[in-house]
Amino acid sequence: MSTPPLDMDAYWMPFTANRQFKKSPRLLTRADGMFFTDDHGRQVLDGIAGLWCVNAGHNRPRIVKAIQEQAAELDFAPPFQMGHPKAFELASRLAEIAPAGMNKVFFTNSGSESVETALKMALAYHRVRGEGQRTRLIGRERGYHGVNFGGVSVGGMVANRKMFGTLLSGVDHLRHTHDLARNAFSVGQPAHGAELADDLERMVALHDASTIAAVIVEPVSGSSGVLIPPQGYLQRLREICDKHGILLIFDEVITGFGRTGHPFAAQTFGVTPDLMTIAKGLTNGCVPMGAVLAKQSIHDTFMNGPDHLIEFFHGYTYSGHPLACAAGLATLDTYAEDGLLTRAGELQGYFAEQLHSLRGEPHVIDVRNIGLVGGVELTPRAGEPTKRAFDTFLDCWEQGVLIRTTGDILALSPPLIAGREHLDRMVDAIRTALRRLA
């Protein structure tokens, strides 16, 4: 049964073609398991885990109950100079599943805030150590690190940057790793491109290592089109950072909590950063929350001076919010009970096989995958960049399957509870749409 017409004028929607949407709205009213329900009562298969975040599927009873009970018990607790038990419990639980040595947790409310926090930590860390001249931040072309000024500055997605002026000064960018000529249709990590990490040595030669505070990269770039790191690339980046005393930050907002077959992509690729940003899957998307995981040595560097003085002048009103912590704890329990933090590793072979069956379909020029995340790159329509992918998205929606687009790339990141039949349906919907567009 459809809902009454809405007055849509007041809401300025984020990252949305507002005029197109309001002419033909796509409204979701319920969710359960692998499916949304739209305002016409249709079941829509969730092929993107909400927005890369609902890793355990929708409407999980343990998480819902935890949020309800927490709201009735303690709705808010001030996070400055005060605390509540669940914040400490959640931090300890996260440290248990994090890469070895990353055992300090600073809570935020989103991935964007986590990035800002990690960048500030890196700058402050060097200053506390007596190397305050290390102020330069290095991002990567085609990187996405949220939408706040620091994240946009180190990010490398043109559309996210071009309208907002000069952004932060003292930022430079590594070359991206996307190489269609050598790596098209790679299954898992591409074979070619480890040497692209040496671009950091060029930055060092240009700026001098003593001025560089940190390098931030996504282990797998999600929002810029599912770009998988070449074999050996992250390892080489880690070695160069160590050589020059530069902090390495992994943005795991998308890859965290089982997306690549381990709790974190750092474990999948065997590379441990100094700082790691997380969000999204931390609460299964139920309550906004993010965090930065830091190595013990970074935390301890700040712990000097008189005990009564604040060591790091940063934080948010809602850092470690009681409802978010309750949701986070219940989410970790759900992941553990269902074995979801490693399930992508069990399904990735079948997912890769199905996804790569799209090779040869109309307009497909590349297919990429790792764990339970996949990208299908299409040839742009002449004079209408992004339009072919958007038309594919709309066709899939009409078929009852929700996918995501970024530029002319289709992205899939289903909940980790997905079965083979769900993966089949997602790929079949894309195949049908592409053939109709031909």
Q: Which residues pair with 277 in a beta bridge?
A: 251, 292
pLDDT at 285: 98
Listed in order, strand segments (DSSP E) in 4-120 are 28-32, 35-38, 43-46, 104-108
User: What ranges make up the beta strands (E) of 262-417?
Assistant: 275-278, 290-294, 364-370, 373-378, 401-402, 404-406, 409-412
In the block, tokens 């939408």 appear at 147
Query: In this model, does residue 60 exceed pLDDT 80?
Result: yes
Question: What average pLDDT does this structure show over 379-386?
Answer: 94
CA atoms within 13 Å, Cβ hemisphere of 68: 7
What tokens appear for 284 in the block? 């299964």
Phi, psi of 274 (to 5 degrees): -90, -35
Query: Residue 244: pLDDT above 60?
Result: yes
Of 275, 265, 213, whose CA–CA distance to 370 is shortest?
265
Q: How far apart are CA 193 and CA 186, in angstroms?
A: 12
Positive or negative torsion for Cα 84, 55, 366, 161: negative
Confidence of residue 2 (pLDDT cuts 50, 70, 90): low
Q: Across the chain, what does the average pLDDT equal?
A: 97
CA distances from 427 to 188, 351, 354 (A): 17, 9, 7
Cα gap 322→329, rounded to integer Å: 11
Quick: pLDDT tens for 249-304.
999 999 999 999 999 999 999 999 999 999 999 999 999 999 999 999 999 999 99
Domains parsed from the chain with CATH numbers: 18-55+340-437 (3.90.1150.10), 64-338 (3.40.640.10)
The model's pLDDT over 112-131, given as tens digits with 9 standing for 90+, comes to 999 999 999 999 999 999 99
- Express as a percent the part of the chain with pLDDT over 90: 98
- For residue 247, the SS3 value is strand
Res. 367: pLDDT tops 90: yes
State pLDDT tens for residues 195-208: 999 999 999 999 99
Give the pLDDT of residue 233. Answer: 98
27 contacts: CB under 8 Å, gap ≥ 6:
3, 6, 38, 39
Helices 85-97, 322-338: crossing angle, 10 deg rounding: 40
CA distances from 429 to 181, 284, 355, 376, 436 (A): 28, 25, 11, 13, 11
pLDDT digits (tens, 9 = 90+) for 297-348: 999 999 999 999 999 999 999 999 999 999 999 999 999 999 999 999 999 9
The answer on pLDDT for 55 being more than 60 is: yes
Overall residue count recorded for the chain in this entry: 438
Q: Give the pLDDT score at 438.
A: 73
What does the pLDDT average to over 221-228? Answer: 94
Does the structure show a pLDDT above 70 at 4?
A: no
